Structure 1
Amino acid sequence: MTKIEVLGTGCAKCKRLFANTEQAIKELNITVDLVKIEKLDEITERGVMMTPALIIDDEIAAEGRVPDVKEIKAMLTV
């Protein structure tokens, strides 16, 4: 199963990334393990220096920006 982590401290961009990710998952009709990580120490443990960030299967897919739903869908169908 694909593991997706959305990292961010709760800012508007972080919330938008989580919503875009949920929408992409819904549109693709796939089952994933989606986790939201808000604790700063857990974010830095993953090597992320800028939030929001999107990690797919332990690889940073986006950092410091909010990909739109179309881009996230493309990341998930590679």
Structure 2
Amino acid sequence: MHIKILGPGCANCVTLERVTSEAVAELGLDAQVEKVTDYGAIAGYGVMRTPALVVDEEVVLSGRVPTTAQVREILAALPA
């Protein structure tokens, strides 16, 4: 699983990265988490509001900071 955190590095982006890492650890997933701060790359995903969460090249959340539990639910619902 390849997870990307899209955002310029703001506090919300840092929080999304933290809760995502917590959710990955809680679920015991084999996942690579990557930060993407390049505006061109972010726009390439069609994201207009950051932070955004991309899993295996699919935008699953944008424009808000979820809780660890919400990220865990998103990740658990995705096909393995």
Query: If the TM-score is normalised by the length of the shorter chain, which range does it land in?
Result: over 0.9
Question: What is the alpha-carbon distance in structure 2 between the residues aligned to residue 26 and residue 62 of structure 1?
Answer: 19
Deviations 1:14-64 (A, max 9, x none): 000000000101111111121110111110011111100001121111111
Counterparts of 1:39-78 in structure 2 under 5 Å? Answer: 39-78=38-77
Aligned partner of 1:34 in structure 2 is 33
* AA aligned opposite 2:44: E
Q: Which one-letter code corresponds to 1:3 in the other structure?
A: H
Unaligned runs of at least 5 residues, structure 2: none
Distance between the aligned counterparts of 2:68 and 2:61, measured in 1? Answer: 13
Structure 1 unpaired stretches of 5+: none
The alignment's TM-score, normalised by the length of structure 1, stands at: 0.93
Equivalent residues, number:
77
Give me the TM-score of the superposition, normalised by structure 2: 0.91
User: Percentage identity across aligned positions?
Assistant: 36
